[in-house]
Structure 1
Amino acid sequence: MTESKTLILGCAGHSLTREEVRFYRGECPWGFILFARNISEPEQIRDLVASMRDCVGREDAPVFIDQEGGRVQRLRPPLAPNYPPAAVIGEIYSRDREAGLRAAWLHGRMHAFDLARYGISADCLPVLDVPVEGASDVIGQRAYGSDPDMVARLGRASAEGLMAGGLLPVMKHIPGHGRASSDTHFELPTVHEAFDELRRHDFAPFRALNDLPAAMTAHVVFSAIDPKGPATTSGKVVEEVIRGEIGFDGLLISDDISMKALSGDFGSKAAAILAAGVDIVLHCNGVIEEMTAAASKARALEGEALRRAGRALSVTAHSGEGSEEELRAEFTEYFAAVA
């Protein structure tokens, strides 16, 4: 079996092309990611996931998706129900803390039921960003609320719901995207807040959940830490803040390098990300020329990165617990009042 490389890659369509099959077999990415463009009906999703794993010769190769609820939800009816965004869970929590925590756990557990049936093993959730007034609405209702403690509590409950169903949760966007003044899909934002306030507010949910197995970086510049490089490519942010101040020792995955926030060619982006201490490079849009360039700078998954990846995969070995029918009925009751 070919040694895995420090990559998570997407694909272009509903099935792998011959060129994609050859490329994945040659490069052996550690994992894959699906988007709406890759999804049509149940057997097609299962076949696509199986073919991805077949390319790399690993049945446990993780397959990721962004399934948050609200506007960020790749699987839609009839493949999966439409779910409320995180902000709705925050509203429940504001009225009744125990109910909010249970609703967050159920929210994660429902996603796990939905995704596992298609062979998808990782969900890029929970969102632990804490928005502030005047920030871009790219996070908006994707956040549980504006209180770091509430965000941490609900984020943990959601992650535990996913893990109860054998899904790997990926918290995002570490060390915090809530102050970003622009959408990183299109440009690179700079946050000018003082370090002490970032520590108190933005970093707090990630510090509280620093024991989770995986996290995704923020394409955001924090001028108080590194005025030149976004967190994704900043060794100073990775080592001093993410690994140091926050204390996160799990698998660190870049946000999508095909987003416009990062400058340079794709090989340079991948090299800078890995040099900064990020474990895995994520490329999502399925453009094979871009993936080829990124793969040229990727390396074998080994050492600490391999250890962290192994710990992350151990979560997906869990087969799931609880009656779907009963838990889904309970979930419906929690959200009926705010539907």
Structure 2
Amino acid sequence: MAQAAAIFDTEGPRPTRDERAFFREADPVGFILFADHCASREDARALVSELSDCVGRDNLLFLIDQEGGRVARMKPPVFPAFHPPARLGELYRLDRASAAAAARLTGFLLGRMVSAVGINVNCAPMLDVPQIDSDQVVLGDRALARHPDIVAALGRAMAVGLKEGGALPVMKHLPGHGRSIVDSHATLPRVSASLDDLRKADFAPFKALNDLLMGMTAHIVYDAIDPDAPATLSGKVISETIRQEIGFGGLLFSDDLRMGALGGPIGPRACAALEAGCDIALCCNYTLGEKIETMASDIALRPSAQRRLDRVLNELPAREADGAFEEEYAELEALLRPVVVA
């Protein structure tokens, strides 16, 4: 069987015997970890090792959402807490150099933390530019700033830091989630902004960072581009906007395909995302039955996706040893002190 262009997770903290058999046959590109996989450092390390052994390859991608702030799968008291990304944008308005240093240091420390347990990909930075009426539940303090140039500058610094820390970044959510007024975890957002407005704000940070190796789509309908399908399932959005206009040539993940924004049965969603132009389908919180149903469709890794994946694998940093990094954390706190309320 050809390698599956999919990222899976396990239903519980460790894979069951049936899951191990499934993963061995499916041969996915990698896995994503959530909070219940990271109850301790030892648990996370053991899971990464077990999944690698199960698939029989050591070049798997292990993903996590560890943005800082409220989006954190590795949580206190086991793991250190980080301030929300919005604090970086607030600092930028006071001191650009300090903000860039804080963003890079945040990325470095996040990279070191996840790399120490074997995770090599962090789904950050989020480059969405929130608009005045956007849903604060979705974005809020997850957003770096409200100006695309600031988002790009801080996103670049964080991406550099992540790689220095031992994890490759994934910019999200292409081509921009900043105008959503509903939560795509539950409902499909529709954006009616003109193409000119999208270019000025939403696309700009992604275009500035289009050299990054990985990106993730948005489950949003953009009326000005394709009124009939969300970006994740739209060949027009992916080809004309993400690939051509934004100029992103890296490995493109779908966002989580189980999210409520996407209708219809679970099984065919991965195939639909790949047919639209995503390279890898992100299949989170699927039951084993849903995983098996997904594999019944054609989700084999395409040659173009294999080439992009090879570039990622060639750039994977070496796994970093765990460390306390007290001085670095203290430096980050000192940099952010002007915008952090005690």
* TM-score normalised per structure 2: 0.95
The match for 1:145 is 145
Q: Say if 1:167 and 1:315, in contact at 8 Å, map to a contact too.
A: no
The match for 1:31 is 30
1:47 aligns with 2:46: yes
Q: Distance in 2 between matches of 1:186 and 1:163?
A: 32
Matches within 5 A, 1:182-261: 182-261=182-261
The match for 1:8 is 7
The match for 1:19 is 18
Indicate how the Cα distance of structure 1 residues 144 and 183 shifts in structure 2: closer, same or farther if over 3 A, else same. same
The match for 1:263 is 263
Q: Deviations over 1:76-98 (max 9, x none)?
A: 12332111111001011110001
Q: Deviations over 1:288-323 (max 9, x none)?
A: 222222222243324110111111222323456999
Q: Distance in 2 between matches of 1:212 and 1:84?
A: 24
Q: Say if 1:131 and 1:145, in contact at 8 Å, map to a contact too.
A: yes
Q: Deviations over 1:142-196 (max 9, x none)?
A: 1111100000010010000001122110100000000011001001010000011
The match for 1:124 is 123
The match for 1:154 is 154
The match for 2:329 is 328
The amino acid across from 1:299 in the alignment is: I
The match for 1:338 is 339
Q: Distance in 1 between matches of 2:12 and 2:306?
A: 29
The amino acid across from 2:157 in the alignment is: A
Residue 39 of structure 1 and its aligned partner are, at CA, apart by 2.1
Q: Deviations over 1:257-290 (max 9, x none)?
A: 0101011112321121111111000011142222
Q: Distance in 2 between matches of 1:289 and 1:62?
A: 23
The amino acid across from 2:229 in the alignment is: G
1:278 aligns with 2:278: yes
Q: Say if 2:270 and 2:283, in contact at 8 Å, map to a contact too.
A: no
Of the structure 1 ranges 194-203 and 323-332, higher mean CA displacement relative to structure 2 is found in: 323-332
Q: Say if 1:266 and 1:290, in contact at 8 Å, map to a contact too.
A: yes
Q: Say if 1:163 and 1:315, in contact at 8 Å, map to a contact too.
A: no
The amino acid across from 2:215 in the alignment is: A
Q: Say if 1:6 and 1:298, in contact at 8 Å, map to a contact too.
A: no
Q: Distance in 2 between matches of 1:186 and 1:61?
A: 30
Q: Distance in 2 between matches of 1:164 and 1:304?
A: 27
Residue 328 of structure 1 and its aligned partner are, at CA, apart by 2.7
Indicate how the Cα distance of structure 1 residues 33 and 235 shifts in structure 2: closer, same or farther if over 3 A, else same. same
Q: Distance in 2 between matches of 1:258 and 1:181?
A: 20
Q: Distance in 2 between matches of 1:4 and 1:79?
A: 35
Percent identical among aligned pairs is: 47
Q: Distance in 1 between matches of 2:311 and 2:262?
A: 29
* TM-score normalised per structure 1: 0.96
The amino acid across from 1:201 in the alignment is: A
Q: Distance in 2 between matches of 1:303 and 1:23?
A: 23
Of the structure 1 ranges 207-216 and 35-44, higher mean CA displacement relative to structure 2 is found in: 35-44
Residue 60 of structure 1 and its aligned partner are, at CA, apart by 2.1
Q: Say if 1:63 and 1:120, in contact at 8 Å, map to a contact too.
A: yes
The amino acid across from 2:161 in the alignment is: G
Alignment partner of 2:294: what SS? helix
The match for 2:305 is 305
Q: Distance in 2 between matches of 1:127 and 1:112?
A: 15
Residue 140 of structure 1 and its aligned partner are, at CA, apart by 1.3
The amino acid across from 1:15 in the alignment is: R
Alignment partner of 2:50: what SS? helix
Residue 45 of structure 1 and its aligned partner are, at CA, apart by 1.0
The amino acid across from 1:102 in the alignment is: A
**Structure 1 gap segments, 5+ residues each:** none
Q: Distance in 2 between matches of 1:283 and 1:22?
A: 18
The amino acid across from 1:76 in the alignment is: K
Alignment partner of 1:110: what SS? helix
Alignment partner of 2:267: what SS? helix
The match for 1:98 is 97
Residue 205 of structure 1 and its aligned partner are, at CA, apart by 0.3
Alignment partner of 2:339: what SS? coil
Q: Deviations over 1:25-84 (max 9, x none)?
A: 111110100111222112111111111111211112011000011110111123321111
1:86 aligns with 2:85: yes
Of the structure 1 ranges 314-323 and 292-301, higher mean CA displacement relative to structure 2 is found in: 314-323
Alignment partner of 1:331: what SS? helix
Q: Distance in 2 between matches of 1:23 and 1:110?
A: 34
